[in-house]
Every structure is written in structure tokens, then in C-alpha cells.
Structure 1
Amino acid sequence: MTLVALAVAAPVVPARAAGLPAKATTIVSLTFDDGDATHTAAARALERRGMRGTFYVNTESVGREGKLTRRALAALARVGHEIGGHTLTHVRLDELTRDEQRTQICDDRRTLVRWGYRPATLAYPFGAVDADAKAVVRECGYDAARTVGGLRHGGCPACPAAETPRPKDRYAVRTPSSVREDTLVRQMKQQVLNTEKSGGGLLPLVFHRVCDDCGLYSVSPKVLNEFLDWLAARETRGTVVRPLRDALNARYRPLPAG
């Protein structure tokens, strides 16, 4: 596996205000799952363009080989990136009992809060969710949750281009399929263009590892950089980048008792 730096050292660009410009109609949320160590460089690439993303971590893997450390996670939050929950150990929630789901979701969120974060959104590992999981996510204090799929992509050309600004189901926010090693820049651009042409809306994009030759669910730094350059220029057309928390106006809710 060859890791390629996404950005040279540069001053951190302050995050844009959470409020949307009056002409903004399309909101793109760049979400990164699994707390991979390559997300530090990915975050810097966003920062260079004045963007902020959402980083979903499994708290039991933080600090392990190939994963973000506590220090790296704190650095992301300090400059305005969203830190969200992804369960303790990256399990398929739809295969667990409700009590097991509660342990995975609530204990993970408690750890994030103990570390000083205010997690408002969660991403379901593998996009796997059922009615019980959605109910538990809400019980554990999250204000919204992101799945994977449901929006237009190669395998679902008839799906809607974007999520509605106020999703019908805040605990199953839809996305296109995950970005993979064979995803082309033009395909990501087209997803944004489809959203713009459909009148706008929310387009959450799902990334995993950011490196060369490192697995199916990865994107090369070159591809990501090219896409970010193009995306940054879309702001004049009413397309902005926001963490999912801000795009949904998700509130931090206190931890449940017990």
C-alpha cells in the first residue's frame, strides 16, 4: 500500500460560517467512515479549500494500528470537523439484539462525550439498519443518522438524485453508494450535477480509506484532490460543502440516564 500526502503544510483555512448563503441550493456533505489514519491528510485537503467534513469513528479502534489516535481526532475537531459515532466495534446492527445494539451505540457515544465531543449524528456500519437500530440511535441521544444507499448511483439509476433538505427519516439519511477505488472523478461530479439539476438538496458522500492501492473501499488522494478542486468552484453556482451535522441542523442531545 502506498500512501500519498494530500496536502503540503499550509495555514489552516477557517471554516466557513455554518449558515448557508442565500443562493445556496445544494449542500454536499463529505463523510469519512471508520476512523482511518489516512483521514488526517484528507481533512487537511478539505481545510485548504475552506471545507469541513464529518468523520465517523469506532471508539474501540481509536489508537490502534492504521487508525486515528486520540490526538489526531482532537486535532480534527479543533479546526471544525464534525466527529460522529459509528458504534464501538463496527458491527452490522441489523444482526444484533436490541440490547446489543444499545451497547454498541450508547457506549460508543458515551466514550465520545467523555473525550470532550458533542456527537449529534451517527453513521451505520455497512449502512446496515433496521427499525430497532433507528429507535436505539434516537434513545442514545443522536439527532440524526446516515445510512448508505438510496440515492442515485450506477446500481440505482431511478433513485432520487439527492436527499431532501429536511429528510423524511432523519434516522436513515440516504446517500449514493460508497466511493470505491474504481469510482471516477466524473462520476462524483455527475452526482453533484444531478443534484443541482434536480433543484438542489442534500448530497452526503461516503468515503472510507484515502490512499493508493489499499482496498476496494478507498479513494486515491489524486482523485479526491481533483474532485475537491472542482467542488470548491461550484460555490458560485449555489453548491456548498457542510458537515452533515450542520446540513441537517442536528442538535446535540444529552446522554440518556443509566
Structure 2
Amino acid sequence: MIKTRRRSILLQSTIALTGVLLALSAGTFAAQAATPVVRSAVPGPRTVVSLTFDDGNADQVVAEQVLKANGLHGTFFITTSWIGQPTWLTQADLHTFAADGNEIGGHTVTHPDLTTLTSAQATAEICDGKTTLASWGFNATDFAYPFAAENASVESIVKGCGFQSARGLGDVRSPASCATCEFAETIPPANPMDTAAPDEVDSTWTLQNLQDVVTNAEANGGGWVQLTFHHIAVGTDPTLTISPPLFNQFITWLAARGATNNTVVETVSQVIGGQ
């Protein structure tokens, strides 16, 4: 099967960050994904959706507020060298996210294609990113490959750096690709160091596309669906962006699935950790 690997386009957001930032004291690990998982009482195949956000764009604050309003939690994969720079999240944002029950994960130091680096260089990118997050108070246990680029050597390095899982892209049936792929990843995944996920969400995705990824999994035996977002904004990166109203519509719809279908939202750590 040919894997579809979508390349992230790293353009700066023009959306200004607003709101009150919650500063927590450094030196202690922030509680990540501490909120107990709410299980659906509806019978049938169980579907788990993980809402993941890559890079650390400042407009992801909008997404976190929508998740909080709906009682849901996501996983934010952070490229550490960008944090605190213009149009990117701050350490205070990350602490706010973690305090609200979200997971903070690793996404390297500078977001390179890890398969193009030497073993030593890849190790520095992966392990140093995790160490930096630890110095900020976050115990990052899950990882996402920049550009979804990985191989057996990179997988081994990620595991050696202490991560329990690593997410790829394009290996689950998506609106515009991988028509013969499975509808969801298995729980537990066959290879935790290369977990399967649909293509990253971009400006071509409609509300129906987002809903179909979930309902198709529900109708085909359930499993794990990891959705990947970058910008939640208007007027920024035209490729890796969905609008706040569309995101809000989808999350509101998704939050209700537990009452009508055996579908829940969990962080990556909650799925991999088996909570």
C-alpha cells in the first residue's frame, strides 16, 4: 500500500493572541490529561477520536477554548524553538492548556524532516525537544513526526528518547486520499511508534468531511481516529487552516456523539496508556 505523506507548510499566522494567560510556577510537571475519561454507555463498537494540534501556532488558543467549552481535551504537539516567538504559543499558554486537561506532546526542536538527518542529529532534535518540554514542566510522552516523515531508524530513536507513541499521517482513509486504507487505527496500535491517522485537516475539508471520518469509523468496527489540525483561523496559511466557526461546529457535533454512539474523545496519552 502506498502511504500518502502530506507536507506541512510552515507559514506564520497573522492572528493576534488575546485573552488572559495563566502562569504556573516552573520546575514541576504540569498535569496532562488528568481528567478521567468519560465512557459512553451506548452499546456497539467503540470509536475513540483524538484531536491533535501540531507545531504550536498561536491561533490554537481558539481551539483550546472551544474544547474547554465542550468539556473535551486535545493533544498539542510542540516544536520547542518556536514557543514564545511572534505568532506562536507561549509557555504560559502551554501551562493553561495542561491545567485544562490537555496533553503536551513532542514535535522536535526545529521541525526538520528527520529522515534526512544523521542519527546524532535526529536524536538531538527528538530528545532535546522532550528535555526542553520537561524543563518547562511538561512530561511529554507522545510524539508526532514533522512532515509525517519517519523510518525504522527514526522510530527507534523516538522510542529511545522515552516516547510511548509517535503519530504519522495519511494511513487512514481520508476525504481526498488513501481510498483503500482502513477507516481507523486499532486500539492498541500494531506499531505505537508509527500510529496511523488520516491526512491533516486543511482548507479543503468541509464539516461533512470531518463528520464522515468519524461516522465511517463508527460504521466499520470502531477504532482510533486521530485528527490533525494546524491553524484555527481566517486569513492565514491557506492550506493548513480551518475557520473557527467550522471548528466549533465540528467539535459541538462531536461532543454529542457519546450520548448517541459509542464514541468518545481522548488524548493520545489516554489511548496509548490504556486508561
Question: Would you call these one fold, judging by a TM-score over 0.5?
Answer: yes
2:138 to 92, 117, 120: 117
1:233 — aligned with what?
A: 256
Aligned to 1:143: 164
Deviations along 1:15-58, whole A, 9 cap, x unmatched? 85236345471100000000000111210100100000000111
* 1:230–1:5 CA distance, 2 compared to 1 (3 A): farther
Check whether the contact 2:114–2:150 (CA below 8 A) recurs between aligned residues. Answer: yes
Work out the CA distance in 2 between the residues paired with 1:15 and 1:107.
Answer: 25
**Relative to structure 1, is the Cα distance of residues 248 and 6 closer, same or farther in structure 2, using a 3 angstrom cutoff?**
farther
Q: Any conservation in 2 of the 1:6–1:44 contact (CA below 8 Å)?
A: no
For residue 39 of structure 2, what is the aligned residue in structure 1?
Answer: 20
Q: Which residue of 1 aligns with 2:23?
A: none
Q: Is the 8 A contact 1:85 1:119 kept in 2?
A: yes
Structure 1 position 229, deviation (Å): 1.1
How far the C-alpha of 1:248 sits from its partner, in A, is 1.5
Which amino acid in 1 is paired with 2:271?
A: A
Which residue does the alignment assign to 1:42?
63
What is the CA–CA distance in structure 2 between the aligned matches of 1:141 and 1:250, rounded to whole Å?
A: 17
Q: Does 1:219 align with 2:233?
A: no
CA contact (8 A) 1:56 1:85 kept: yes
Q: Cα–Cα, structure 1 residues 140 and 250, in superposed 2: closer, same or farther, change >3 Å?
A: farther
Shift of 1:75: 0.7
* Partner deviation per Cα, 1:85-132 (whole Å, 9 max, x = no partner): 000001111111111100000001001111111111000011111111
Task: Name which of 107, 120, 132 aligns with 1:86.
Answer: 107
* Structure 1 Cα separation of the partners of residues 16 and 39 of structure 2: 33
Aligned CA-pair RMSD: 2.2
Cα pair distance change 1:133/1:167, threshold 3 Å: same
1:104 aligns with 2:128: no
Q: Which runs of 5+ in 1 are unaligned?
A: 8-13, 252-258
Q: Distance in 2 between matches of 1:187 and 1:5?
A: 28
| Equivalent AA in structure 2 for residue 199 of structure 1 | G
Alignment CA distance shift 1:73-1:250 (3 Å): farther
TM-score (ref. length: structure 2): 0.84
8 A Cα contact 2:15 2:58, kept in partner: no
Secondary structure in structure 2 of the residue aligned to 1:149: coil
Q: Which residue of 1 is the match for residue 73 of structure 2?
A: 52
The AA in structure 1 aligned to 2:76 is F
Instruction: Pick one of 196, 210, 219 that aligns with 1:174.
Output: 196
1:201 partner letter:
G
Q: Structure 2 counterpart of 1:112, which letter? A: L
Q: Which residue of 1 aligns with 2:222?
A: 200
- Match for residue 254 of structure 1? none
**Unpaired stretches in structure 2, ≥5 consecutive residues:** 1-12, 20-32
Specify the alignment match of 2:209 in structure 1.
187
Distance in 1 between residues matched to 2:274 and 2:256, nearest whole Å:
27
Residues matched between the structures, number: 245
Deviation at 1:194, TM superposition (A): 0.5
- Decide whether aligned partners of structure 1 residues 161 and 85 sit closer, same or farther in structure 2, where only a CA change above 3 A counts: same
Which residue number corresponds to residue 165 of structure 1? 187
Judged with a 3 Å threshold, the aligned counterparts in structure 2 of structure 1 residues 57 and 195 are, in CA distance, closer, same or farther, namely same
Stretch deviating more after TM superposition (81-90 or 236-245): 236-245
- TM-fit CA distance, 1:233: 1.3
* 2:252 partner amino acid: D
1:30 equivalent in structure 2: 51
| Whole-Å separation in 2 of the counterparts to 1:109 and 1:232 | 31
How far apart are the structure 2 equivalents of 1:42 and 1:4?
14
